[in-house]
Structure 1
Amino acid sequence: MRVFRLVLITSLALTLLMILAACAGGDSNKSSSGADNKGAPVDQPVSAADAAGSNNDTAAGVVPAQATEEPLAANVNGEPITLAEFQRERERRSMGMEVEPASAAVFDASVLQTMIDQVLIEQAAERLNIVVTDEEVAAELDLQNDLAAANNQSLEEIVAEQLYTMDEYRETLRGMLITQKVSESVAQVSPYAAQVHSRHILVTDEATARSLIAQIQQGADFAQLAMQYSLDSSTAPTGGDLDWVSEGDLLQIEVEQAIFSLEPGQLAPEPVKSSLGYHVIQTLERVEDRPLSQAALAEKRQQAFLDWLEIERQSSEIEQYIGG
């Protein structure tokens, strides 16, 4: 049951490797390239010029030329994401995929949300005076050139296959570097946390769990029972050992709450029910200020960044013109 929250952690050094693997996903950024005719139907906003109509005629009878507005996919705090940019990004994301009509709206919403998030991040970077220099972008391009060469490929060819011009790709890298810097600035996480070392036995029914608790209370070996009865194939071979966890690590909240409520060496007197079944739980050790592993620290930083991003979404003025 050693199941942790799934967190997407961006790694710039792996960007090219993902492309080499023909993965058209990755961090999505605004692109200024042309559009195809794909994408969801668009409810176009009415322009000020259209609304004004003939009322803009001058007294001399001269009708000013109407402003032509480019169709938009979204507007983020006054900054537009054009329909052409969205369609271009959607085409990149869908490369190698077959988007079924039933899931097209969900796919489109995901693509647009990623683009909106990138705008929010870059707007925050401006407020925080965070910049990425041309030299930093060039250094990242040099790294990716080396990776491409190591695979006997040309970076320019790889980028073109992913529907980027080199200028567009430079701006994509700039956006990724900005995201990294903003994340480092807003996701301040202590490398230490209260952690508990515990173990458990997972079974399907309450009666079996209660029987196991009674056996352990009478002197039976917890680890042996875990290896014999536990349905958690990831921990049963090690006697049900859940290793060290900090708050927020486990998907089964009930189990996490239980192991943190127990004293070291204490066996939970009652089975703990979760979506997986019934757990027999024992806390072995507790340290209030234990260093986090590199993986756990990266996960917590990413979660802190996602929490910050959600606040940005909620506090921003965002209009979406596609889907619905």
Structure 2
Amino acid sequence: MTNEIPEDKKGKGKRLILVIGIPLILLMALITYYVTVPKTDDYVAKINGEIITQSELNKELVSQYGTDVLSTLITSKVIELEAVKKKITVSDNEIQAELDDLQNSYGGKEAFEAALESNAMTLQGAKDNIKTYLTTTKLIEPTIDITEKELKTYFKENKDTFSQEEQVQASHILVEDKDTAKEVQKKSEKGEDFAELASEYSTDTASASNEGNLGYFGKGEMDESFEKAAFSMKVDEISDPIKTDYGYHIIKVTGKKAAKEATFENSKDDVKTALMNEKINANYSTWLSSLYEEYEIENALAGEK
């Protein structure tokens, strides 16, 4: 994957089920398309008059990927049936909350949708993956016990991940040349709306559609020149043109967070979430294998009955 879904530092491993499903979803979509869409000539390619038929392609797809795709479908169905048995449901609000969290981790809706597009995945596909992830989490969580001692040990070993580093919230307008950057700077300093200027001028389309907002970021996450300027500015201050490899930036700092050391009492909920997610990921295969034993599964491709 080119734009892998980022790992939440306070929910280590949280996205595992969501991430590992994407390649197989793409294969499933490809196979479904060629199996179900009729071709009037019954061929999918022609080379100097020699044809490759749809049935040849279907056979090759099943031969290469059929076992993996079918295993994924079986797993999804077993989880679905187990959820019905245990009366586990996932609401639209829960899916949307998880989707919002995911979008924020990318810096906004536009950036997230661009990442989906680059992976040939639809928004509905992401929602379906989220539903499976949440359903699986709800099924596994009751099987896992976490003691107070484990929580304290985990916090001690991972304290830095729960501390709040110094962060800056900023918006920016990216343009190609210095003259345009100066023009934008003057307009913003005269009181013109920064969000409207971002929409009009910025070549960073992902942030431009979100008022130029880049969200909060820590040191080491941005281009060195951009970062140096942003961290040296005051809230509501607008920068001179800042040159990076991407072009010229006009930066507006909109918020700041001071560094803050974590305490166990204040971080306990986050610690429990992180440790639970680690245990879910570690126990997933064993849990699934034991779940399979409760169902009569026939896999024709694997010769299993």
Q: Tell me which structure has the larger Cα radius of gyration.
A: 1
Is TM-score (shorter-chain normalized) higher than 0.5?
no
After TM superposition, the score normalised by the length of structure 2 is: 0.37
- Structure with higher helix content: 2
